Amino acid sequence: MEILILGDGEVKALITMNEAIKAVEEAFKDKNLNKVQMPLKSFLFYEKYNGDHRFMPAYLETLNISGIKIVNTHPENRKKYGLPTVSGIIILADPETGAILAILDATWITLVKTAAASAIATKYLAKNNSKVLGLIGAGLQAISHIEALNCIMKLNKVYVWSRNYENAEKLAKYMAEQYSNINFTATKTIEETVKNSDVIATLTPSRSPIVMKEWINPGIHINAMGADAPGKQELDPLILKKAKIIVDDLEHASISGEINKPLTQGLITKNDIYAEIGEIILGKKQGRTSENEITVFASTGIAIQDIAVAEIAYKKALKQGFGIKINLTGPTFKLLQ
């Protein structure tokens, strides 16, 4: 039984952002066509270390692939230990035989599948002439979001906010060197970022609102991406009361997405959720219906995104000879390549 091992650098070399966007969009469609299995993600919480592990399984019938992502979130890792705040692996399996096919580093896949979801939501929910992006957070997710949303929006300006203004400045300078046609501006307040943007993406681990209702202009689209565990929250709930709310998966988002705390507090109900993004992609429900409408994509991140993107890397790796193969049968494993 050969298992292919792919590191982060190999995975990154094998996946383009446009491929990820296409794969995630198809996965969202298949979910709402009842062609996937996706049990709820489960968590191990390490309160004394301000961290967690989450376990995210899925089976995608159309791709004939199944797998599970095991990923951690430890916000203080970089400062305390010089380690990534998010890391993990994805294990792919053959639904026909149950054999383990591959183990992939999940770092790049987590970045691109999240940004791809934002891009897809923006495609269907933002105003057609949207050109200005606001980023709340200046980490790796901000970098991947710029790449993904530039595929959709034809960006000409990006505002970046970070708790540490120097980080926002560094990101703005770095990205300006990568995209000469886009103006990058570091901001000192979230308010400035929000008020000047057509589309914003919130990319923080916040557990209390940091984007307030009074800053929201008519017609804005918000990708609320940071709330990926119970208790996390980035938006003033009054924004949700005014907005058309779209989620990636209602069951998952209700427990660990941007809507989880407002639901628990009784500030909104599940009846306030307009649609899942897959329903809009399939045309079962309309996306944006007016220039002044406020739209929110409340994404918690779901396993079908990860497995769909990992499948691209796995198949391309086999064709191009990437990775290392190991055989785990017998008393000791044998290195095959």
For the domain bounded by 127-298, which CATH number is listed? Answer: 3.40.50.720
- Binned at pLDDT 50, 70 and 90, residue 335 comes out as low
Q: What is the mean pLDDT of residues 83-88?
A: 90
DSSP 214: G
- Predicted confidence at residue 138, as pLDDT, reads 96
The answer, yes or no, to whether residue 333 has pLDDT greater than 80, is no
Nearest alpha carbon to residue 246 among 303, 284, 218: 284
Residue-wise pLDDT tens digits, 213-236 = 999 999 999 999 999 989 999 999
Residue-wise pLDDT tens digits, 165-215 = 999 999 999 999 999 999 999 999 999 999 999 999 999 999 999 999 999
- Predicted confidence at residue 91, as pLDDT, reads 98
Distance separating alpha carbons of residues 300 and 189, to the nearest angstrom: 25
The answer, yes or no, to whether residue 330 has pLDDT greater than 80, is no
- Predicted confidence at residue 327, as pLDDT, reads 86
Both tokens assigned to 269: 């109900």
69 an active-site residue?
Answer: yes
Residue-wise pLDDT tens digits, 282-325 = 999 999 999 999 999 999 999 999 999 999 999 999 999 999 99
DSSP 218: T
- Predicted confidence at residue 1, as pLDDT, reads 74
Distance separating alpha carbons of residues 294 and 222, to the nearest angstrom: 8
Distance separating alpha carbons of residues 297 and 110, to the nearest angstrom: 18
Task: Transcribe 241-297 into DSSP letters.
Answer: HHSEEEES-HHHHHHHSTTHHHHHTTSS-GGGEEEEHHHHHTTSS-S--STT--EEE
Q: What is the mean pLDDT of residues 329-334?
A: 59
Exposed / middle / buried, residue 251 (Cβ in 10 Å: 0-12, 13-18, 19+): middle
The answer, yes or no, to whether residue 332 has pLDDT greater than 80, is no
- Yes or no: say if 221 and 189 are a contact pair by the CB < 8 Å rule: no
The one catalytic residue in 12, 31, 35, 69 is 69
Q: What is the mean pLDDT of residues 260-282?
A: 97
Task: Transcribe 34-98 into DSSP letters.
Answer: T-EE-PPPEEEEEGGGTEEEEEEEEEETTTTEEEEEEEEE-TTHHHHHS--SEEEEEEEE-TTT-
Tell whether domain 2-109+303-335 is in CATH 1.10.357.10. Answer: no
The answer, yes or no, to whether residue 265 has pLDDT greater than 90, is yes
Buried b (16+ CB within 10 A) or exposed e, 170-197: ebbeebeeeeeebebbbbeebeebbbeb
- Domain ranges for the chain, please list them: 2-109+303-335, 127-298
| Number of neighbouring beta carbons within 10 Å of residue 2 | 15
- Yes or no: say if 231 and 261 are a contact pair by the CB < 8 Å rule: yes
- Predicted confidence at residue 84, as pLDDT, reads 87
Both tokens assigned to 42: 């489960």
- Binned at pLDDT 50, 70 and 90, residue 331 comes out as low
Residue-wise pLDDT tens digits, 25-78 = 999 999 999 999 999 999 999 999 999 999 999 999 999 999 999 999 998 998
- Predicted confidence at residue 336, as pLDDT, reads 53
3-state helix, strand, coil split of the chain in percent (to 5) is 40, 30, 35
- Phi/psi for 107 (5° steps) reads -60, -55
